[in-house]
Structure 1
């Protein structure tokens, strides 16, 4: 059953600012988003900006949507791998599944999958439908609570950073688009604060039906891929289910491991997210590597880049700010490509 809770059956180049270029610490960034979900770089811009930033490897891991296999450029249609190669970058293709209806921020990355497998297409269609219904409802509740968000005229129809009117298909809407508008309209200081506001208010935290983590792992493997748990410390330290069940983060992760998760994201920018704890990024990495070194096949890393600097976010994540070294990438490459 795809939409169970855990345990329930289970090409104009983009502009790279000097500050973004100097933030690079790692040659390989294995967790990035584009305009195909809630990022602000097109796939072409992501690759070009990765090259400008000095990256050797960059991954496209958009939310609940397969990566593009081909790009339409002024020179004609070209494979995304060839486009990246022309810019001196190796591309890793992935998808980030949002999992578990009742737990926030359970995300499983799928790499090296058969992107044309009908099982994946069916799952993607279910995820699209669930998003459309939930996000429209969230806008209605926000409006009723005195924070007007017009789904049709502010989310589907919107103004980009250059002042141009754009249109989104309902299937392309992500919650972050709503959070960004909440911040723009002054309902929260930033999109991250808006996310926390919605997350911590039971009335606002509209639950869309998400694929269970067990089913996501099974789907990835059925498509020949590798399953990696993204940003494990964004999962609450103690998880409370509506039916009264409680699980610790460690118990939750242990269940994923027992179900066959292959890898875990150890290097990540928790300091630039809605992480609730007090540990520093390096302390979390050390903990993950120590505790799970014998329980998963490998560790990965990524910035979770969204090109938020285009939206004026001052503390945005930069390409390569988190990731893996080229030596580390080569040691795990067989799991990713």
Structure 2
């Protein structure tokens, strides 16, 4: 039996911290939302850190989907603490996780920072999420195939060819929907992975639901592990949410309930123009709306590019490191919540 978000309870509202906004596209020194090969990114953690340094960043966050961040790296000099490696490159590394939440609503993602990454509660939750993904993504490939868009789960998703032409293998628990979307685009079933995502999302037959963590449970889990909870890219949530039981909820109502349950921050700066965002607002307009609407209701605002190193997959106009983020001055004001 599922619990719909519209039935969730109430909580407390936190005081706000005001930070400055950006009205034009620029590079930021601190990118607080990035992905690696540990989920659906294309840079290894080591490559992400090195590339951040090459691009002039001072702070970068690893926030992979539903998996703990790496604490160590295997280098030619042996095993090294990943934060020590980052410092050697002139980078301050922030460790995080991005929880995919709510079985019935797409793109409800909550970022957890500053957590106890070895907490058994977190490990148990991640194991449950892994199991829920495996069957759903295999089923999606089967349905796509039945609808005339063949995707071989075993030989094209678990076994795949990387950008250098090398044969690689994924564990079923490592598969992300974006891997399927990328293959759909590569095979010509959609112009881009973003179009493939929209196609799947908007087709009830294709939108195979996996059991995701309840967003309130995600917030509680983050806090029980000593962390800070941040709502990622809020405007990727549909403006009006339609639940299977016939109830509806607006995006604004949804976010208000997250706030009342104790979400600490909201990602205000984000590259919506390079995603599956359905609306017509410009990135800076969304930022201004978020800051105006939620100033005083959350503790702080963050920013991140949601970088995936998509250029390695030949994606045109990919999200770039530091394309969205925060200034170094803003980061220092937020640091106690993130590190």
Residue-pair matches, total: 324
2:262 aligns with 260
Match of 1:269 among 271, 279, 292: 271
1:281 is aligned to 283
Say if 2:57 is the partner of 1:55.
yes
Classify 1:189/1:155 alpha carbon distance in 2 versus 1 (closer, same or farther; 3 Å). same
Instruction: Tell me the distance in 2 between the aligned counterparts of 1:7 and 1:64.
Output: 24
What's the counterpart of residue 158 of structure 1?
Answer: 160
Residue 171 of structure 1 and its aligned partner are, at CA, apart by: 0.4
Q: Any idea what the Cα deviations from partners look like across 1:110-129, whole Å, max 9, x if unmatched?
A: 00000000000000000000
Give the aligned partner of residue 105 of structure 1: 107
In structure 1, how many angstroms separate the alpha carbons of the residues matched to 2:8 and 2:256? 17
How many Å separate the matches in 2 of 1:139 and 1:280? 34
Deviation at 1:24, TM superposition (A): 6.1
Check 1:95–1:55 CA distance in 2 against 1; reply closer, same or farther (3 A cut).
same
Aligned to 1:19: none
Q: SS of 1:152's equivalent? A: helix
Secondary structure at the counterpart of residue 5 of structure 2: coil
Partner of residue 12, structure 2: none
Quick one: distance in 1 between partners of 2:293 and 2:56? 32
Map residues 316-331 of structure 1 onto 2, 5 A cutoff: 316-331=318-333
Q: CA deviation at 1:5?
A: 4.0
Task: Give yes or no for contact 1:24–1:53 (8 Å, CA) kept in 2.
Answer: no
Report the counterpart of residue 128 of structure 1 in structure 2. 130
**Which consecutive segments of 4 or more residues in structure 1 shift more than 6 A?**
none
Q: For the residues of structure 1 that align with 2:259 and 2:250, how far apart are their CA atoms?
A: 14
Secondary structure of residue in 2 paired with 1:91: strand
Q: Distance in 1 between matches of 2:50 and 2:44?
A: 10
Cα distance in 1 for residues equivalent to 2:6 and 2:113: 24
The equivalent of 2:242 in structure 1 is 240
Superposed CA offset, 1:265-300 (max 9, x none):
000000000000000000000000011011000000
Is 1:142 paired with 2:144? yes
Matches for 1:1-337 after TM superposition, within 5 Å:
4-7=3-6, 25-337=27-339
- Residue by residue over 1:61-115, the C-alpha shift from the partner in whole angstroms, topping out at 9 and shown as x without a partner, is 0000010001111110001100100100000000000000000000000000000
How far the C-alpha of 1:314 sits from its partner, in A, is 1.4
Aligned-residue Cα RMSD (Å) equals 1.2
Tell me the alpha carbon deviations over residues 7-28 of structure 1, each in whole angstroms, 9 at most, x when there is no partner: 4567xxxxxxxxxxxx961000
TM-score normalized by structure 1?
Answer: 0.95
Q: 1:6: how far off?
A: 2.2
Q: Measure, in 2, the Cα distance between the counterparts of 1:298 and 1:287.
A: 15
* Cα distance between partner residues in 1 of 2:255 and 2:74: 40
Q: Deviations over 1:126-169 (max 9, x none)?
A: 00000001000000000000000000000000011111100000
Structure 1 gap ranges (5+): 11-22
Give the conservation status (yes or no) of the 8 Å contact 2:64–2:97.
yes
DSSP 3-state at the match of 1:93: strand
* Contact 2:102/2:108 (<8 A) preserved: yes
- SS of residue in 2 equivalent to 1:296: coil
Greater length-normalized contact order (CA 8 Å, ≥ 6 residues apart): 2
CA distance in 1, matches of 2:53, 2:149: 41
Alpha-carbon deviation of 1:315?
A: 1.0
Per the alignment, do residues 24 and 89 of structure 1 end up closer, same or farther by CA in structure 2, a change over 3 Å counting?
Answer: farther
1:34–1:43: 8 Å Cα contact kept in structure 2?
Answer: yes
